[in-house]
Structure 1
């Protein structure tokens, strides 16, 4: 399975300001999600966000919203956004079949959403470095369970390069200048 941007949708689950302070690696997850969200916007891949009970947990982290120039926001009460009838209908109507998934908490809302997406027949790509929980071992277990159910683990770089597909386009050149530079102390290799 290889990602194709015309079939893809980036789904970011519950990166909420009231929840993030207690999430181990939460800020790093937001940073990676924001980076891929900017790339998605450049490449016209839809970005959808969810918020779980925002009256209690607050809205989406301002730093994430600032990185995105186009997104659709869904509020939910179910842990799995797939249990929200309006969301499920809109996703089906979008025609997107490849869902890149990330968020918090990985072992609750992200996992339940992922399992719902898999059950509905979508290809699921678990964005590992942008999925976090209060306890890291629960995020790891969530990823393992999702993958055992049919998801594929990916990194932001993997997704970006699959969406870009080739290096001789104007989109690649713009992406390279704007986004494809090291985001942290870890090196990024370009070929």
Structure 2
């Protein structure tokens, strides 16, 4: 929180969570072959994450990719479109392993994380906690995050919001990053908005809250 003193009035300005292409990193967590049959809405989750990856390339946003024990759980699924990225292998739940920390330092220590992948109550949660403790502003893309059960997924999102993460959606992120038709890459991003986002089971839950 920042404080400004003017006209003898102390005004507090809270962080409002505005995304910026200059400060953001896209985190893609463990979207691997062996998880495919068991993760709720897996295909739609990967589809949304793939759109965010395409946008990150257009807008020059760096991307970090991890794989959980790839020897046993297989590689990242090809439809994510991340074949050109270096996947950091891990066995811990958090993505914030030594290799990732070094990559973040090399990027100039950015302060915004756009987080996608699985599982919401395990690796996404632990990564969020670590990022928040490091001073990151964490934007969890709710329709690009899931778990094996819808219950674990939805209550994880609710819990992470309590911890200070922002919950958002794929299209909200895309639109916030360009902020309007005057952005030089707007037409390229607009192509990623041509088709409505698939229903990933969130609407009914949050409508009931």
Q: Secondary structure at the match of 1:12?
A: strand
For the 8 Å contact 1:49–1:73, the answer to whether it is kept is yes
Task: Name which one, 1 or 2, has greater alpha-carbon Rg.
Answer: 2
Q: Which runs of 5+ in 2 are unaligned?
A: 1-16, 200-209
- Residue 192 of structure 2 is aligned to residue 179 of structure 1: yes
- Of 156, 159, 172, the match for 1:158: 172
- Of 38, 56, 73, the match for 1:40: 56
Distance 1:179-1:62 versus aligned 2 partners, 3 A rule: same
Map Cα deviations across residues 111-136 of structure 1 (whole Å, 9 max, x no partner): 11111111111100010001011101
What's the counterpart of residue 30 of structure 2?
14
What's the counterpart of residue 21 of structure 2?
5
Q: Secondary structure at the match of 2:125?
A: helix
Q: Secondary structure at the match of 2:116?
A: strand
- Identify the structure with bigger relative contact order (alpha carbons < 8 Å, sequence gap 6+): 1
Map Cα deviations across residues 63-98 of structure 1 (whole Å, 9 max, x no partner): 112xx475342111111121x222123213312110
Distance 1:72-1:166 versus aligned 2 partners, 3 A rule: farther
What's the counterpart of residue 89 of structure 1?
102
Give the distance between the partners of 1:185 and 1:38, measured in 2 at CA: 17
- Residue 44 of structure 2 is aligned to residue 62 of structure 1: no
Matched positions, count: 182
Q: CA RMSD of the aligned region, Å?
A: 1.6
- Residue 157 of structure 2 is aligned to residue 143 of structure 1: yes
- Residue 146 of structure 2 is aligned to residue 126 of structure 1: no
- Residue 101 of structure 2 is aligned to residue 73 of structure 1: no
Distance 1:89-1:166 versus aligned 2 partners, 3 A rule: same
Q: Secondary structure at the match of 1:170?
A: coil
Q: Secondary structure at the match of 2:148?
A: coil
What's the counterpart of residue 189 of structure 1?
none
